[in-house]
Amino acid sequence: MLERTALIYDGTFDGLLSAIFDAYERRPMPQDIIEPDGQPRLDTHYETVVADPAKTERVRRGIRRQMGQEAYEHIWKAFLSLHPDRSMRIYEYLQLGFRIKDRLVRSLTDDRVIAVNKLSALVSREASHLLQFVRFAETTTGVYYCQIEPTYPVLPLLMPHFAHRLNVQAFVIYDKTHAEAGLYDGRQWVVRQVEQSLCPQLTAEEKQYQRLWKTFYDTVAITERINPSLRRQNMPKKYWRNLTELQPDEGLLLPK
């Protein structure tokens, strides 16, 4: 007889919440919740569960009501980290949360809380970096376009910010790493999977703006204060590839 049981869910966030509902219906509760491509163990009996929107909503409401919005945001961001243990960590976090309710977010020394907060912090950090380092280019259709290569799929965190801010201006942010695009038409935004990389046609004025920006960037530095390590610390190198101001003069992001 197998000692452990585990649920397999569909790998979506809503699916995970629904699976948590199922876990609470089982006696004894399963030890683990894993994604379809998770590593199976020999000593474990696996059961696949199907996501049910009604269960998802009940769990979502329950988390918000009992543990607060902050806890909900932590698990959502932790999920976006794509970490192999994300489902398990969130499951353990929520089990603790359903027991100790609103004391959960204050239990900053509990390892289960730390584990989720850590993942959530990684994602928040990436998102806040991209709010800084997204660079749009004007395309001939009037839509502004940007390519990013984030470690985590943070488009759902970026889109509300830019939609608010750019407001009247339609734009597309293409996440090359995860083959997703955030689309905003001036009213609403969506995130979609995209098959192949987008290569939009840029305007002639775009090239001039990129030059102007680079001129500004190069001029504003004070020679006597040059400090490469401080710059790297504030603006990690992984973002440089997609930053207009750090392209060599001839390599500006221009239409091929």
By beta-carbon proximity to another protein, the closer residue of 196 and 223 is 223
Of the candidates 115, 187, 186, 181, the residue with the CA atom closest to the CA atom of residue 153: 181
Q: Cβ of residue 167: shortest distance to another protein, in angstroms? A: 5
Q: Cβ of residue 3: shortest distance to another protein, in angstroms? A: 32
Tokens 């009996």 correspond to what residue?
45
The residue ranges that bind another protein (CB under 8 A) are 103, 105-109, 114, 131-138, 144, 146, 162, 164-169, 205, 208-209, 211-213, 215-231, 233-235, 243-245
> Residue 194 has which token pair?
């995209």
Using alpha carbons only, what angle is made at residue 54 by residues 52 and 59, rounded to the nearest 5 degrees? 95
By beta-carbon proximity to another protein, the closer residue of 82 and 235 is 235
Q: Cβ of residue 116: shortest distance to another protein, in angstroms? A: 13
Taking the CA atoms of residue 62, residue 65, residue 71 and residue 72 in that order, the dihedral angle to the nearest 10 degrees is 60
Q: Cβ of residue 5: shortest distance to another protein, in angstroms? A: 31
By beta-carbon proximity to another protein, the closer residue of 35 and 206 is 206
Q: Cβ of residue 20: shortest distance to another protein, in angstroms? A: 23
Of the candidates 132, 142, 130, 144, the residue with the CA atom closest to the CA atom of residue 253: 144
By beta-carbon proximity to another protein, the closer residue of 196 and 219 is 219
Phi, psi of 11 (to 5 degrees): 90, 5
By beta-carbon proximity to another protein, the closer residue of 23 and 67 is 67
Answer whether 189's CB lies under 8 Å from 183's CB: yes
Rounded CA Rg of the chain: 22
